[in-house]
Amino acid sequence: MRKKILFLVVMMTSVTNQLNAQRADLLFMVEHAIKAPSGHNTQPWKFKINEHSVDIYPDYGKALPVVDPDNRELFVSLGCATENLCIAATIKGYRSEVSVAADGLIHIDLQRDTTITPSPLFPQIAMRQTNRNVYDGRIIPVDSICELQAMEKEPAVGVRFFRNGSHEFNMIADLILAGNSRQMDDEHFIAELKQWMRYNKKHADGTHDGLSYAVFGAPNLPRFISQPVMGMFINGKQQNKGDRKKIASSSHLVLFTTEANTIEQWVALGRTLERYLLKMTAMGIAIGYMNQPNEVKDLALTMTSSLGLGSQYPTVLIRIGYSERAPYSQRRPVETVLLP
């Protein structure tokens, strides 16, 4: 009898230890998922850690109804987080399988697999950043662009590169500037943007989210000074003045498209985008977003017809080039995004 009880205790302890180790592995994956980019750094995600899977839920409380009324960029951000999670899973020896429900719940099944090799993109998860600097003007060599073009994409996702100086590059640049003028003319757009601005270190440290003074290259000043000063730069004229230099200093514009405007394809685009961002980070390439023309519907239509995209939806536009590194943005602590 005693032997039986001892055996049961040993068995139960071993199962508990295994479950604890597994939960630690899955938590490690979530810690890397939340390093993903998101529009205005809202971090619109919640995670549920299960025994052999992680569920990612959209957090609509962090939606951006003015700039992103269909939650398209929200789901692209969730796709970026999904990709980070799957890459981190390889480090712990897990195979991942992603499924996306029609309501946007992302389920990632995670099974141990001794044949899994660690992803070479993992070290870049902590290094990746959005870089809003004026770049140094150097053009990325053709070989590097070819290497990027050859990367694996999720089904239905397209990636197009436009070299600085080309007719298409100049046409998209004009649409970016038109997008700035339109967005900055909209008081609701400005109000939403200001809601996510973090005007000094104390403000940024208080929320661990949003667009901090530091990522715009502003100094850390008392809020009664920084808020009105930064506010002076939030208008179409100033935005276009800055963006003209930023675009001119970039090597390429890169456009990510989907075949359909569905949650599943937005998540697929996010996964592809994150893979590209990590690979570019490894190649020493800086990345900044210029998503204005995709966010203003009629400009997106103009881009679709001018670039001959056919039935493809232009969804994320980035500029790439070479630059010094920029300050990093903050993330909320992982405990605050875990569901019980």
Ligand X SMILES: Cc1cc2nc3c(=O)[nH]c(=O)nc-3n(C[C@H](O)[C@H](O)[C@H](O)COP(=O)(O)O)c2cc1C
Q: Which is nearer to ligand X, 266 or 322 (CB)?
A: 266
Binding mask 128-167 for ligand X (x = CB under 6 A): -xx-x-----------------------------------
- Is 293 among the residues that bind ligand X (CB under 6 A)? no
Q: How far apart are CA 227 and CA 41, in angstroms?
A: 19
Q: Which is nearer to ligand X, 38 or 96 (CB)?
A: 38
Q: Which is nearer to ligand X, 25 or 274 (CB)?
A: 274
Q: Which is nearer to ligand X, 119 or 329 (CB)?
A: 329
Binding mask 297-336 for ligand X (x = CB under 6 A): -------------------x------------x-------
Direct distance between the N- and C-terminal alpha carbons of the chain, in angstroms, rounded to an integer: 38
To ligand X, the closest distance from the beta carbon of 18 in angstroms equals 34
Size of the site for ligand X (CB under 6 A): 17
To ligand X, the closest distance from the beta carbon of 115 in angstroms equals 32
Give yes or no for a contact between 234 and 194, defined as CB atoms under 8 angstroms apart.
yes
**CA angle (45 as vertex; 41, 48 as ends), nearest 5:** 150
Give yes or no for a contact between 108 and 56, defined as CB atoms under 8 angstroms apart.
yes
- Is 235 among the residues that bind ligand X (CB under 6 A)? no
- Is 83 among the residues that bind ligand X (CB under 6 A)? no
Q: How far apart are CA 138 and CA 148, in angstroms?
A: 17
- Is 77 among the residues that bind ligand X (CB under 6 A)? yes
Both tokens of 77, joined, read 């951000």
C-alpha distances (whole Å) from 322 to each of 18, 250, 252, 281, 318 are: 46, 8, 11, 10, 13
Both tokens of 7, joined, read 């055996």
**3-state secondary structure string across 192-204:** HHHHCEECCHHHH
Residue type, 338: L
Q: How far apart are CA 251 and CA 47, in angstroms?
A: 37
Q: Which is nearer to ligand X, 130 or 262 (CB)?
A: 130
Q: Segment near ligand X (CB under 6 A), from 69-77, 219-227, 243-251, 303-311?
A: 69-77
- Is 41 among the residues that bind ligand X (CB under 6 A)? yes
- Is 30 among the residues that bind ligand X (CB under 6 A)? no
Of positions 26, 29, 32, 40, contacts ligand X by CB under 6 A: 40
To ligand X, the closest distance from the beta carbon of 322 in angstroms equals 17
Dihedral (Cα; 144, 279, 239, 248), 10-degree rounding: -10
Q: Tokens 């230890």 appear where? A: 17
Q: Which is nearer to ligand X, 110 or 184 (CB)?
A: 184
**For the chain, where are the E strands, in sequence order?**
45-49, 53-58, 94-100, 106-112, 157-163, 197-198, 211-212, 252-258, 286-289, 313-321
Q: Segment near ligand X (CB under 6 A), from 46-54, 109-117, 127-135, 223-231?
A: 127-135
To ligand X, the closest distance from the beta carbon of 185 in angstroms equals 16
Both tokens of 299, joined, read 């400009």
To ligand X, the closest distance from the beta carbon of 173 in angstroms equals 14
- Is 291 among the residues that bind ligand X (CB under 6 A)? yes
Q: Which is nearer to ligand X, 109 or 186 (CB)?
A: 186
C-alpha distances (whole Å) from 300 to each of 34, 237, 306, 309 are: 29, 21, 10, 11
Q: Which of residues 162-201 bind ligand X (CB under 6 A)?
A: none
Q: Tokens 């890397």 appear where? A: 32
Residue least distant from ligand X (Cβ)? 37
- Is 38 among the residues that bind ligand X (CB under 6 A)? yes
* List of residues contacting ligand X (CB under 6 A): 37-41, 73, 76-77, 80, 129-130, 132, 211, 289, 291, 316, 329
